[in-house]
Amino acid sequence: MKYKCPCCGYMTFAEPPPGTFEICPVWEDDNIQYDDPD
């Protein structure tokens, strides 16, 4: 099962975000970027 990336919306993560440290073509899922995306 794939989970949606909180940044781009594509189903790219194998685990539910946030905090997985997985990388999609647009974004790396980590708690710091999730809390402050700029």
* pLDDT tens, position by position, 1-38: 899 988 889 999 999 988 888 888 888 888 887 788 77
User: What's the pLDDT at 4?
Assistant: 92
Sequence ranges of the domains in the chain: 1-38
Please report, as a single letter, which amino acid is at residue 22: E
User: φ and ψ at 20, to 5 degrees?
Assistant: -85, -20
How far does the chain reach from its first CA to its final CA, in angstroms?
A: 29
User: What's the pLDDT at 2?
Assistant: 94
d(CA 11, CA 8): 9
**3 membership: H or E segment, kind and range:** strand 3-4
d(CA 15, CA 31): 14
User: What's the pLDDT at 28?
Assistant: 84
